[in-house]
Structure 1
């Protein structure tokens, strides 16, 4: 009997592989349909010419309709848009996890833990700064694994209870550092641990696991670049810059970042443009050297374009949903930057520079 089972195993593996491929094809088709419903680029220049109530009404005629209608009974203006964006992002990402199966679902759940960390540090910042629970709630994005009820308890929890939540999530080391370090350094440590855990979990295994690993490495590159340029623009010493860099980048290992840390901004941008991400667009970064805001928007645009290009080359892979998640984040960030800029009476051109178009 055992011998017969062994003989059948290759067929069972083949059948499982075919089922997995069919699931990916079906899942990715749904993701592509969702991607087609993202706001077109022409929407953002139109929003720049609108007032905040008009933007909210326009969003109410889009994929944000449900959230705008539900929350419009309680909120107005910027608060209505902000809460609607947060809830829509959470609903979208939770929906993706529910539709996924097996390894794909597990990877997406691990990836979304980023929002758990963001929400925990937001709650911590509120407690340490004396910010009201209402203001903290406005900044929460419930797109991770923590439920609405858990997030409410987190916001209302004592400082010690928040530490306990972090420990239950496996971040004991960070909790131990909180009493000794300022919160920004603790946040930096948590993010490094998050990415290190993702890289470790995806260091081997299936083709999709390897693709996910590569995607995370690219994400690290772009996060490092944005933080690197911010720190350099602020005149931070090279040794201090390197303390904030995350290991594991695809094209920017620590050795290369260390070499860049000793250069001036223009030389740094010239060297960066030699990376595969930017080779087809020489001068795009150096042309924005005088505006850190425009530089950051350019970097996010390149990251998104690179992710979409990789996904198109691998239509039955996890890259399709990962590139969609990134595109959705960019959409929400664009809308948020517009309404916040308008609330703060920022010049239209300055708001425009923040947008990823």
Structure 2
């Protein structure tokens, strides 16, 4: 075989061997790929399983964490209520003990008990300077300034002291009192049997401490603790901004129904309604549920006060019917705007909405408990029945007459709410100031709206609501101003803080730019919301905290409604944001 032939044969053998190697390599590669695929799929299944387990664990941990956080909030609120109650008991005990008719006997009893414990009458008695005449016959010294009353008895050699001050007397029973207060506020247990027996032998002032557990402010411990815990569920600024950033009302509805306390309010919705109407109806249901919860936890003696405040939603619902007629809204559109949190239930409101004539609407209003009281009240008596019916029949015919009727509704509410607040009620002044502020805001906005519509002084004054901080002279000046531009500086006196004044000035500039009164309405609403928040924070053991929370919850409802209405109208987020009332 020649050299060329040998090379040719080697080439052939190499090619055949190469093909075998390549074929084997390809088969090996396929096998490796198959094994790799199987391993990948197995790894993927394991990863998914691990991820599912992680998610489940993470979810469980988050739920547990949320429950612990919620429990911590409730426990802290309860502790705060108990400590506040103890402070109230102490203040009352001290003031009652120092009363002119009883303190002398109490002081002498404390001194005698101290002598008995000391085992000697040869002692120095330390009392307040003003009590020296009550402790005559003893060797006296000056009681240290940190004590508010009672006495300290010291042995003649100065080695033994018996503390019989009011502070020490109270401190000795503080632990037992704390438990009794907790049981009374949160377990509903009566102070009798073993508890009453344990206080036996404590002396006359022990009975006084025991009786103080029925002291009026303590009754609010549970309700105030619940309200402060409920406050944590109010929408935060971040949540409102999240809603605002959502592109559609469907997304808003999905968020509210799946990730917030509004979930159950989306159940059993009517079939053919828009996403905007779904949200409107859900927030209305939620607010009504909250109002009922507040009524349940409010102490019986203050329930009428809260019920009077809930009358604002009866007013809202009647205004909704009137304005819906004015704007030509359908019954379906209007019914989603109702807030049935007051005296008027949904069946009564639907009956008014379905009325076919002014006579029928008038009778539907009069037949309700709220309507009969309103139509016989002083706030409406000056309006002829024919005029009321004319407005009910055609609200669009005369803006001034409609405003006068709405003003009468507002007057009725503010009068009822104001008269329900007892003068001796704790925080009565704070609540009344909140009501007066709301009245002032209502009057300022009404005057602006009527002035821009060209109403005269007499018409504007007829639409003003009594009971605010604005004097009659101030209201007369606003009503008699020649233009809205002249009225605005007069209305600005409502704002006291520098923040409020700056916001009002900014609203004035925006109004000059686009002519929209809503800029003024928003700054008044923001100021009222801040005052409601202050009422909630400052009020301890009173109806004030409950009323303050109610107003803040109302603003949450209003903010959500503004967002979905703005999106339905295609307004830019910046414009909707300007209308929101975000505080706290």
Residue 188 of structure 1 corresponds to which residue in structure 2? 407
Residue 202 of structure 1 corresponds to which residue in structure 2? 421
Aligned pairs, number: 348
Pairing 1:89–2:287 present:
yes
- C-alpha distance 283-67 of structure 1, shift in aligned 2 (>3 A): same
Equivalent residue runs for 1:261-280 within 5 Å: 261=479, 262=481, 265=484, 268-275=487-494, 277-280=496-499
Q: CA deviation at 1:323?
A: 1.6
Residue 163 of structure 1 corresponds to which residue in structure 2? 366
Pairing 1:35–2:228 present:
no
Residue 5 of structure 1 corresponds to which residue in structure 2? none
SS at match of 1:114: helix
**Contact kept in structure 2, 1:269 and 1:286, CA below 8 Å:** no
Residue 59 of structure 1 corresponds to which residue in structure 2? 256
Pairing 1:172–2:376 present:
yes
**Contact kept in structure 2, 1:307 and 1:319, CA below 8 Å:** no
SS at match of 2:234: coil
Please tell me whether Structure 1 or Structure 2 has the larger radius of gyration of its CA atoms: 2
Q: How much is the aligned-residue C-alpha RMSD, in angstroms?
A: 3.2
- C-alpha distance 102-263 of structure 1, shift in aligned 2 (>3 A): farther
Q: Deviations over 1:52-78 (max 9, x none)?
A: 000111111111111124438664411
Equivalent residue runs for 1:287-298 within 5 Å: 287-289=506-508, 290-291=510-511, 292-298=517-523
- C-alpha distance 268-156 of structure 1, shift in aligned 2 (>3 A): closer
**Contact kept in structure 1, 2:407 and 2:465, CA below 8 Å:** no
Q: CA deviation at 1:106?
A: 1.0
Q: CA deviation at 1:264?
A: 5.5
Q: Deviations over 1:137-161 (max 9, x none)?
A: 2232111123344444444464333
Q: CA deviation at 1:15?
A: 3.8
Give, in whole Å, the separation in 2 of the partners of 1:279 and 1:128.
38
Give, in whole Å, the separation in 2 of the partners of 1:263 and 1:199.
33
Residue 140 of structure 1 corresponds to which residue in structure 2? 338
Question: Which of 218, 229, 236 in structure 1 is aligned with 2:437?
Answer: 218
**Contact kept in structure 2, 1:67 and 1:87, CA below 8 Å:** yes
**Contact kept in structure 1, 2:288 and 2:340, CA below 8 Å:** yes
Q: Deviations over 1:25-51 (max 9, x none)?
A: 221111111111111112233222211
Question: Which of 239, 254, 264 in structure 1 is aligned with 2:458?
Answer: 239
Give, in whole Å, the separation in 2 of the partners of 1:31 and 1:66.
20
The runs of 5 or more residues in structure 2 that have no matched partner are 1-203, 393-401, 512-516
Pairing 1:260–2:458 present:
no
**Contact kept in structure 1, 2:439 and 2:465, CA below 8 Å:** yes
Give, in whole Å, the separation in 2 of the partners of 1:167 and 1:306.
30
Give, in whole Å, the separation in 2 of the partners of 1:13 and 1:123.
54
Question: Which of 31, 37, 46 in structure 1 is aligned with 2:242?
Answer: 46
Q: Which moves more between the two structures, 17-26 or 140-149?
A: 17-26
Residue 16 of structure 2 corresponds to which residue in structure 1? none
Question: Which of 256, 266, 276 in structure 2 is aligned with 1:68?
Answer: 266
- C-alpha distance 59-92 of structure 1, shift in aligned 2 (>3 A): same
Q: Whose relative contact order is higher, 1 or 2, with alpha carbons under 8 Å and at least 6 apart?
A: 1
**Contact kept in structure 2, 1:311 and 1:317, CA below 8 Å:** no
Residue 229 of structure 1 corresponds to which residue in structure 2? 448
Name the TM-score, length of structure 1 as normaliser: 0.84
Q: Which moves more between the two structures, 328-337 or 223-232?
A: 223-232
Give, in whole Å, the separation in 2 of the partners of 1:249 and 1:14.
42
The runs of 5 or more residues in structure 1 that have no matched partner are 1-7
Question: Which of 345, 352, 357 in structure 1 is aligned with 2:577?
Answer: 352
- C-alpha distance 134-186 of structure 1, shift in aligned 2 (>3 A): same
Q: Which moves more between the two structures, 77-86 or 195-204?
A: 195-204
Give, in whole Å, the separation in 1 of the partners of 2:238 and 2:285.
24
Give, in whole Å, the separation in 1 of the partners of 2:282 and 2:447.
32
